[in-house]
Amino acid sequence: MASSARSRNLGKLERDKGRPTGVAEGCAKGPHFSRHGETLKVPMSLFRDNRHRLVSRLREKGTRSDTFVVLQGGVNVPFNDTDINWPFRQESFFQWCFGVEEPDCYGAIDVVTGASILFVPKLPAEYAIWEGKLHTLDEFKERYGVDETRYTDEIAAVLKGKRAQLLLTLSGRNSDSGLLKDGAVFDGITEFRVDSETLYPVICECRVIKSPQEIEVLRYVCDVSSEAHKTVMRRMRPGTPEYNAEAWFQHFVYAKGGCRHVSYTCICGSGHNSSILHYGHAGAPNNKVIQDGDMCLFDMGGNYCGYAADITCSFPANGKFTDDQKLVYNAVLKARDAVIAAAKPGVVWTDMHLLANKVVLTSLKEGGLLVGDVEDMIKAGLNAVFQPHGLGHLLGLDVHDVGGYLPGHPERPKAAGVNKLRTARTLLAGMFVTVEPGCYFIDCLLDAALANPEQSKFFVPEQLQRFRGFGGVRIEDDVLITETGVENFTKVPRTVEEIETFMQIDRST
């Protein structure tokens, strides 16, 4: 890509690199996380405030005065049976409370006072040879803005010295993965009463509503990820391997935004592969060569200070939409626009999903692919044929963030067409969610629908046939639910005209 194009592409990020000013200015006076001078400085007060939010909720439940929250951080994970490790990423609940970068730590919070204790491993002196200077307890205390630091072999003794009797540990089942989060374990824990049930739903509910400081970190990582997507879009040419798009994205978010990690395996599907919802896995590692006329569906998000972006851009590899590509793309864009206009506090997420489905089906009917009443199509489950996933999900420290299904909130719907939703909650101000309607032509789903009399009656087979192998379109934005509606943090070209104009700049290079 020519240097002039690169300069324009980075312009917004460079102009905004000092933003959000409230966070950057505040953290300059205290401990913070950052990668270099141009990346966002995240104040450790963000995590202190998270701890205070947590203890406030616990106090509302009438927790005893001798109670401490005890959390166990992430551990290094060996690569199979070798002596090297996977790149470390902090356990999300521990990150939310403490913002600590190192593995093998613990944290405790006094529920009465809110005072925090960070426990770090006591490493042998020889570790300095391999890992550099070993930091003192006072240095860890200053770095992470906690009230006290001790070593992990002292956990039981320290808690006894503070007259702790009841420990709240974290155990619960993630409603997205179905995996169980186990509570903290340390030497001497059997000397305390342990409650492993109370904490999980409370801390999950805290994570559902983002604090002002969290919102600014999410804004930053969405800004970085948006610019990375634009870089990929502008550099794309037919004949490019899909993995180049993944490499371009990862390079940008790290080199320009300080994002060492992406939030999930990059999905870089082209042509038929754009209909594979989680393409890019080990069996299909973004390795097809992109052809002239292919639609690209690139779903990628950077990760900064543990916080995730999740953005999908769909566009033609050659920069020009065909009529069929316009039909499908505009159907999805209209669905996105309808949800953005309607979403606000008090609105049920299930209703937003069905709204998006109806808009897509209506557009396909207007385009001649379907006939009949759209409401009847929904009753027959035709919406799940063209969009077999939910409209979106909560987003935060995990790309599929916790809180989708918690006690006291709607359970997962069972009806076809809505049973894949990652949450059925009523929207609240402060939620951060993805809005990601899609339309896909997936052979196995189309074949099953054509064989089902209740669904096949809606198809115009001769029109549908030309979309075999088309792939799919998804448009995914990261949005904050505000008091009056939504604020969209995703800043990429979205209309057909915007995409075509953007992709033609310096197209000759």
The one catalytic residue in 91, 216, 398, 476 is: 476
**Please, are residues 153 and 54 in contact by the beta-carbon 8 Å criterion?**
no
Does 135 participate in catalysis according to the annotation?
Answer: no
373 burial via Cβ count (<10 Å: 0-12, 13-18, 19+): exposed
Does 474 participate in catalysis according to the annotation?
Answer: yes
**CA-CA distance, 194 to 231, in Å (whole number)?**
51
Q: Is 151 helix (H, G, I), strand (E, B) or coil?
A: strand
195 burial via Cβ count (<10 Å: 0-12, 13-18, 19+): middle
Pairing type for strands 477-481 and 432-435 reads antiparallel
The one catalytic residue in 216, 223, 227, 299 is: 299
* Residue 204 structure tokens: 């999950």
Does 376 participate in catalysis according to the annotation?
Answer: no
**CA-CA distance, 154 to 122, in Å (whole number)?**
10
Instruction: Please name the amino acid found at residue 440.
Output: Y
Does 307 participate in catalysis according to the annotation?
Answer: no
Does 440 participate in catalysis according to the annotation?
Answer: yes
Does 15 participate in catalysis according to the annotation?
Answer: no
Among 356, 312, 358, 314, smallest CA distance to 335 is for 356
Does 191 participate in catalysis according to the annotation?
Answer: no
**Please, are residues 482 and 346 in contact by the beta-carbon 8 Å criterion?**
no
Does 436 participate in catalysis according to the annotation?
Answer: yes
Residues 6+ apart with CB under 8 A from 167: 67, 68, 69, 70, 159, 184, 189, 192, 193, 194, 195
The one catalytic residue in 310, 337, 401, 477 is: 310
Cα torsion angle, 505, 10, 477, 440, sign = positive
Q: What are phi and psi of 234, to 5 degrees?
A: -75, -30
CA 317 distance to own-chain centroid:
26
The secondary element (H helix, E strand) that includes residue 167 is strand 166-168
**Please, are residues 14 and 30 in contact by the beta-carbon 8 Å criterion?**
no
The one catalytic residue in 353, 389, 422, 494 is: 389
Does 38 participate in catalysis according to the annotation?
Answer: no
**Please, are residues 295 and 316 in contact by the beta-carbon 8 Å criterion?**
yes
The one catalytic residue in 242, 246, 398, 436 is: 436
Does 83 participate in catalysis according to the annotation?
Answer: yes
Residues 6+ apart with CB under 8 A from 234: 1, 5, 9, 502, 503, 505, 506
What is the number of residues in the chain? 509
CA 457 distance to own-chain centroid:
38
Instruction: Count Cα neighbours of 158 within 13 Å in the Cβ-side half-sphere.
Output: 21
Does 462 participate in catalysis according to the annotation?
Answer: no
Residues 6+ apart with CB under 8 A from 262: 249, 250, 253, 300, 301, 302, 303
The one catalytic residue in 474, 477, 478, 494 is: 474
Instruction: Tell me which residues are annotated as active site.
Output: 83, 278, 299, 310, 389, 393, 400, 436, 440, 474, 476
